[in-house]
A and B are shown apart, each in its own frame.
Chain A
Amino acid sequence: MEVSLAVPPDAVFIVLTVITLLAAILALQAKELIYGAIALGVSFIGIAGFFILLDAPYLAMLQIAIYVGAVVVLILFTIMLVRRDVGEEVVERGERGESAAGLWIAGLLAVAIAGVAALAGPNLASSPPPGVLSVSDLGPVLVTEYPVPLIILALLLSAALLGALMLAKVER
């Protein structure tokens, strides 16, 4: 009986997604800042796993080297310079209304992305374009062949930007 020991890629994708998302949530919710930094590193490694699934191992390695090896180090620096005793809580939980609003916005965004993807449906390009792309070809290809992923990316980026603004906002 011939058995393939290879795991189906869908299962790998689901496991990676769960790990990445859980780590990202933990990175925001951890009571101890250093656990947040570690969870952020795990989440970055999960994203590197996605790159490996997409046959881009070089990008995956650079993701680990730069994001986990440098960005997390920067965050650790910041945490270490704010010295305090182990076990003290510093992260204040947001009020109930704030987290509810956050959930609402996240849900709306998910619905918007799902809607765009569903409307685009068959137009979603799944195979890479033939031939070698030069940098100058990249722009036209992004707009003509992959408009839907581009729009979804734009939505995600604006959500991230809004979140960063909210976090950095100084209460007066």
Chain B
Amino acid sequence: MANTARSFGRWLLTAAITLLAIAGLTTLVVTLAGAHIGDVLTALYQGAAGSRYDIGNTLNRTTPLLLTGLGVAIAFRAKIWNIGGEGQFLVGAIAASAVGAYRWHSLPAPILIPLVMVSGAFAGAAWGAIAGALRAWRGVPEVISTIMLNFVAAQLLSFLLHGPMQEATHAQPASEALPLNAQLPVILPDTTLHFGLYLALAAIVVVTVYLFATPAGFALRVVGDNPEAARASGINVAWTQVSAMAWSGALCGLAGAVELSGKIGSLYENYSPGYGFTAVAVALLGRLNPWAIALSALFFGALSAGSGSMERSAHVSSVLIYVIQGVTLLALLASQQIQAMRRSAAG
């Protein structure tokens, strides 16, 4: 226990230093942008947690980041660099829309909503498994294949929105809106906070259990740490890599379905504001630990929720949020590098 406590303490220290560095750099950027850091922070806070509605909004933005962050983390645990969360998110949303707004739109809610979720997860899993299979059996670097599949997914969406899935009036490239019986219920009155948050929280538990209490999750972690040792001990390395990508894609696809069914309702081009990419930062900031990922998703969610208010009342562009995100990632990568150096110095 002492050991766990110590390593947790070390993680906390690194995280604190990293956040401090982020704060310093943010202040610098804000000052350079001609604003006052106090105003900016107040505005950020007001936007992210100033009212019940704002809190709901923050949590709503946290949900897809948490799901995609967990998804990406599963693949990363197996040392598969899934940069395709974005594409998996999109195909998940497409499948969810096809099921919920077209194919079975008249089913009753208790059946339709789970169906929408499951179809999103399955579509994402299949999309992820393509890259996993290419990597495991054909040696295609997954970084490249997943990025390419992001483009394919975006183009697929575009094609569908101009063709088979365009809404009935053909007025704009968007899909038919989900009917009420396919929408996730609101769970906090006077806000838009929807049921997806519960799904994301459940996903934390599921991922933790999968990784740490099942043989498959164990095999996944061994493959991630030392594929040679895994192979020598009889683990099917290729299959483990494919299933890691499928799980990863499933969570990203689920995020797409949740976002559609809980918040947006219909598909349009540029449907995802880069959740699949932010997920990489979320997962790394959370050091691939499911519970820490929840915190880092909340952090990113709050930033994104607060950005609008920051623009309005502190008079700085909301683009600044992306700078803050970028700064966060840089500080984070630096801190991980420092940790790795410290580890190798100790070993």
Please say whether chains A and B are actual partners in one complex. no
Interface residues of A (CB under 8 A from B): none
Interface residues of B (CB under 8 A from A): none
